[in-house]
Chain A
């Protein structure tokens, strides 16, 4: 019997993804040296700038060649490289429990999170998990320890979706509580007040956190193909609505499209990653695309 949480990991998928590092798009503030750019100067192979020598500077960084040619004291500075602190935020509201032909959005998100956590820890960065229901049910701070991955996987295994979402409140709290710059990856269907949610994203970006959003949708939600009257039951409460899908389809898709576009443009405005994902897509491909896109864009700061 496999250990809890390992069900969400697929060796073949991980094998393909391991070749692509997860890079931060913004400078990170880590506790140890790593692969990600830091806002601070430090010892790395990446030259940053020259500055005048001031007493007390480390003479090992004095550019002796410049001193020999010009008889002036210049200090040669390099970018520091640090590790990545990654917060994987999972929306555990009942709407994530919606299950289409390819499983629920929650299960799909768990696979994405498990794989990302594995990759993050494997490349020496710290991965943490925040599962958000009506309130934060599980919050695991980022750790670099491989044993920490096991805790994350076990937590994912035990997590269930129920109640209304507390995602906006949790993101605000996270923006404030994360003392260092971090990568925050949100996995949610974002079915909450768009204004409030975009406010959260703005707050996170204001705190210099790198933000990536996986907007999870089921194909049924995107297409709304029903051929007979249906009683729709809200997953987050007991409200139900009997309607003729054909008669409301146009308006439904119109409303949904406006919502999706607003979220996409909102994330674009805040210079964040936005990935709209349908649960019938292969999650390995989705992650590969995510990692590759981050690698191409590179870090900017």
Chain B
């Protein structure tokens, strides 16, 4: 329990005042000489215990009343939501409900999900304000303020049902601000229920400071109450699809997938994964040897020419919403590459290394001069190799568009010092290795990317490649492979759906032994395959990020169930077209925003944090100074009732005193 006015607690010793006053009063009792002491003693003896108990109770209730008063003034805050039941009603209560996929995680020790628990708590709390405050809901899917007549309407599926979308908390906060500004509401409270997932909150987003500043400038009082479900359910494994490609080998086609498994707790070493391909189910065992696993799998589809769909499903765990991923694969495509170079000695190497194999015939890459490069070249290409000075102007824009559409571009050094930049990257100085030995690449990304291990788990022979010359890569980059001295060999920049690579050396005798092909061929073949998605129609979306143009079509779930493509992951069909919708990768982010950091995001707005650790049915609400106020009044009333003297009017005592006491001389005589 914390206190908003903790200094008031310094007055706690004052609770002893009644006891002190009582002791002083005992000393100050008016002495009364008394003769009929024998009767008084008998009377006191029979009532002394009751009197002592009564006095003790009076003192106790006085002390409790003072204690309650001090606690009331110190404005205590509880860890739960108990105080809300007694807080003054604001004009408007805006509920920001995070209904992202991660909120479907079950509460530790319970069976309900964080979203369901949040709805229960919010409904209970809001129920007390029904009729007194405007209740509005801004849920994470549509982010539009919707007023509800009663708190229990919050449980309607359209408002708070589960979804596979992500949540954009800054945008929801902005929506709350917009509603307040537009409707000129009075005092308002913003109740936020979220699991504080970092990818949803995005603390580095500049909108936070902007919106918080606007809130501070509002004339009305706004308070934020944050119900944080930041306790992680450790019994959970999330599955996400990282790569899916269709390859052909020996006339048979394969679907190659790379899945990421992310476990939070200990899992059984071998777990059956349900694989669904075009409706047929099979099982594959997955060995979870660590908490992070990239699992590569190949599904043969034989000589099938057309596309299809499938899914991978992990057994039920702490969050059933993140156990399944869906995919669709397209028909067989012809893969083509283009080599843009001015160096004739390496052109042939590039042509052969990036040639495509279709139906058993090899098709070398198209060779062209940089001056001939244009949009028409890119039309049917999935990979472009650029071994020339960096493109400028229109060529650079064409290349950038190519990458954004999903193509892959690899730039090799021309050997000339060039100040120009492409996507912030450029070439630096050329370095030549000493005669005793060349540069060596010893560290590279082997889990994914063009230099990943082979299907058999074998590493590329990168250390065996000799590099005699290299040209430094300048700019902010993501290094996939580096020389021994830390200088990058291969960098990657993601742009749109595609990727742009800078390679620090070239397959030229003067530069390296890359022309041997042990590294260059698999690297370029992988990029050629990865770039093929540019040529295939868009086949997958993240849930909640589907373009409006696509939503105009009538999408039906492939499994016949009624699903909303905007809310739920799955495979949907519109005519002949298949689309896989998966929950956003951001929902697998295990990082949470610490509560202290979350509070700072609201600037100077008063924030009250409630952290619900585990599912509990008896949990109420937080700031509960009203409890002490009512408690104090109750104690004072009880104390008052105890202090009141016993009723004497018409009592036996009075009758005795009046009837038996001498009043007139004629009535006194007892003479026989």
Interface residues of A (CB under 8 A from B): 94-99, 105, 189, 191, 217-219, 221-224, 226-236, 239-244, 246-257, 259-261, 264-265, 267-268, 271-278, 281, 285-286, 288-289, 293, 297
**Contact (Cβ within 8 A) A255 B43:** yes
**6 cross-chain pairs, A with B, having the tightest CB-CB distances, nearest first:** A251-B43, A95-B35, A274-B670, A246-B645, A289-B665, A98-B35
Of B25, B33, B41, B660, which is within 8 A of A98 by CB?
A: B33
Q: Which residues of the other chain, B, contact A255 by a CB distance below 8 angstroms?
A: 38-39, 42-43
Q: Which of A241, A250, A252, A281 contacts B651 (CB 8 A)?
A: A250
- Measured between beta carbons, the chain A residues less than 8 angstroms from B43 are 248-252, 254-255
Assess the A233–B31 pair: CB atoms within 8 A: yes
Measured as residues with beta carbon below 8 angstroms from the partner, the interface class of chain B is 35 or more
B626-672 interface (Cβ within 8 A of A): 645-646, 648, 651-653, 656-657, 660-662, 665-666, 668-672
Q: Which residues of B sit under 8 angstroms from A272, Cβ to Cβ?
A: 671
Contact: B661 with A223, CB < 8 Å?
A: yes
**Contact, CB under 8 Å: B657 / A253:** yes
Contacts of B25 in A (CB 8 A): 229
The proximity string for B residues 34-58 relative to A, scoring 1 for CB distances below 8 Å and 0 otherwise, is: 1111111111101100110010000
The smallest beta-carbon distance between B78 and chain A, in angstroms, is 40
B25: nearest residue on chain A (CB-CB)?
A229
A233 to B50 CA separation, bound complex (whole angstroms) = 22
Q: In whole angstroms, what is the CA distance A216 to B54 when docked?
A: 35
CB distance from A22 to the nearest CB of B (A): 14
Q: Which residue of B lies closest to A289 (CB)?
A: B665
Closest to A287 in B: B665
> What distance in Å separates the Cβ of A235 from its nearest Cβ neighbour in chain B?
5
Contact of A235 with B662 at beta-carbon distance under 8 Å, contacts A223-B657, A251-B42 already known = no
Contact status B37-A252, CB under 8 Å: no
- Sampled A-B contacts (12; CB under 8 Å): A96-B35, A232-B40, A246-B646, A248-B40, A252-B40, A253-B652, A256-B36, A257-B660, A265-B670, A273-B670, A275-B669, A286-B665
Q: Does B29 make an interface contact (CB < 8 A)?
A: yes
Q: B51 to A244, Cβ gap below 8 A?
A: yes
B662 contact set on A, CB distance < 8 A: 217, 222, 276-278, 281
Query: Does B548 touch A at the CB level, under 8 Å?
Result: no
Contact residues in B for A247 (Cβ distance below 8 Å): 47, 50-51, 54, 645-646
Given A241-B44, A252-B653, 6 more pairs with CB closer than 8 A: A105-B35, A241-B37, A252-B39, A256-B36, A273-B670, A289-B666
Residues in A whose Cβ lies below 8 Å from that of B36: 95, 189, 191, 221, 252, 256
| Distance of A210 from chain B, by nearest CB (Å) | 12
A221-B36, A276-B668, A293-B669 known; A231-B30 Cβ under 8 A: yes
User: Do residues B47 and A191 form an inter-chain contact, with CB atoms below 8 A?
Assistant: no
**For B50, what are the chain A residues with a Cβ–Cβ distance below 8 Å?**
247
Q: Tell me which residues across on chain B come within 8 A of A259, comparing CB atoms.
A: 39
How many residue-residue contacts, CB under 8 A, span A and B? Answer: 163
How close is B46's CB to chain A, nearest CB, in angstroms? 5
Tell me which residues across on chain B come within 8 A of A105, comparing CB atoms.
35
Q: Measured between alpha carbons, how far is A223 from B41 in the docked complex, in Å?
A: 16
The CA-CA distance from A222 to B47 in the complex, in Å, is: 20
Q: Nearest Cβ distance between residue B382 and chain A, in whole angstroms?
A: 100
Cross-chain contact B657 with A224 (CB below 8 angstroms)? yes
Given known contacts A249-B653, A275-B668, A189 and B645 CB-to-CB distance under 8 angstroms:
no
Whether A251 pairs with B47 at a CB distance below 8 angstroms is yes
Contact of B660 among A94, A260, A265, A288 (CB under 8 A): A260
Nearest CB in chain B to that of A243: its residue: B44
Q: Which of B32, B47, B657, B672 contacts A232 (CB 8 A)?
A: B32
- Complex Cα spacing A99 to B35, Å: 9
Asked if B26 lies at the interface with its beta carbon under 8 angstroms from chain A, I say yes
Interface pair B35/A221, CB less than 8 Å apart: yes
Distance in Å: Cβ of B299 to nearest Cβ of chain A: 92
> Does A239 lie within 8 Å of B37, measured CB to CB?
yes
- Is A233 a contact partner of B33 (Cβ separation < 8 A)? yes
Cross-chain contact A254 with B657 (CB below 8 angstroms): no
CB neighbours (8 Å) of B666 from chain A are 289
Q: How far is the CB of B313 from chain A (nearest CB, A)?
A: 78
A235 touches B42 (CB 8 A): no
Residues of B within 8 A of A233 (CB): 31-34
Residue from A229, A232, A267, A286 having most chain B Cβ neighbours under 10 A:
A232
B residues near A244, Cβ cutoff 8 Å:
51, 645
Q: Is the CB of A231 within 8 A of B648?
A: no
Residues of A contacting B672 in the complex (Cβ-Cβ under 8 angstroms): 268, 271
B54-89 interface bits toward A, Cβ cutoff 8 Å, 1 = contact, 0 = none: 100000000000000000000000000000000000
| A278 in contact with B661 (CB, 8 Å) | yes
Q: Could you say which residues of chain B place their CB within 8 Å of the CB of A226?
A: 32
Q: Chain B nearest CB: distance from A276 CB in Å? A: 5
> Closest residue to A105 on the B side, CB-wise?
B35
How far apart are the CA atoms of A284 and B46 in the complex, in Å? 40
Chain B neighbourhood of A281, CB < 8 A: 662, 665
Chain A neighbourhood of B30, CB < 8 A: 228, 230-231
Given A247-B51, A273-B671, A235-B34 contact (CB < 8 Å): yes
C-alpha gap A265/B34 in the complex (Å):
25
Residues of B within 8 A of A273 (CB): 669-671
* A231, B668: Cβ atoms closer than 8 Å: no
CB <8 Å contact, B33 and A235: yes
How far does the alpha carbon of A239 sit from the alpha carbon of B31 in the complex, in Å?
A: 12
What does the 1/0 interface line of B386-409 toward A look like (CB < 8 Å)?
000000000000000000000000
Closest beta carbon of chain B to A298's beta carbon, Å: 12
Given the interface pairs A217-B662, A234-B37, the reply to whether A268 lies near B646 with Cβ below 8 Å is no
Q: Knowing A229-B25, A260-B660 touch, does A254 contact B35 (C-beta < 8 A)?
A: no
Please report the C-alpha to C-alpha distance between residue A21 and residue B366 in the assembled complex, in whole angstroms.
Answer: 160
Task: Report the minimal beta-carbon distance from A223 to chain B, rounded to whole angstroms.
Answer: 5
- Alpha-carbon gap, A3 to B34, bound state (A): 33
A285: B residues at CB distance < 8 A: 665
In B259-302, the 8 Å CB interface with A consists of: none
Say yes or no: A254-B660 contact (C-beta < 8 A), given A246-B646, A293-B669.
no
Contacts of A250 in B (CB 8 A): 43, 646, 651-653
Q: In the complex the two chains form, what is the Cα distance from A239 to B47 in whole Å?
A: 19
Task: Tell me the minimal C-beta distance from A266 to chain B in angstroms.
Answer: 9
Assess the A257–B670 pair: CB atoms within 8 A: no
Whole-angstrom CA separation of A221 from B40 in the bound complex: 10
Of the candidates A230, A248, A275, A289, which one forms a contact with B670 in the assembled complex, judged by CB atoms under 8 Å apart? A275
Task: Choose one: B35, B661, B669, B671; the contact of A191 (CB below 8 Å).
Answer: B35
Chain A residues whose CB sits within 8 angstroms of the CB of B660 once the complex forms: 222, 257, 260-261
CB distance from B609 to the nearest CB of A (A): 51
- A256, B666: Cα distance in complex, Å: 21
Also in contact, A240 and B31, with CB within 8 A (given A252-B39, A253-B657, A275-B668) = yes
Give the chain B neighbours of A252 by CB distance below 8 A: 36, 39-40, 42-43, 653
- How many Å from the CB of A63 to the closest CB on chain B? 37
Complex CA–CA separation, A253 to B668 (angstroms): 18
- Shortest Cβ distance from residue A206 to the other chain B in the assembled complex, whole angstroms: 17
Minimal beta-carbon separation of A201 from chain B (angstroms): 12
**Complex: how many Å from CA A272 to CA B672?**
8
How far does the alpha carbon of A243 sit from the alpha carbon of B415 in the complex, in Å? Answer: 109
Please indicate the chain B residues that have their CB under 8 angstroms from the CB of A297 in the complex: 671
A282 smallest CB distance to B (angstroms): 8
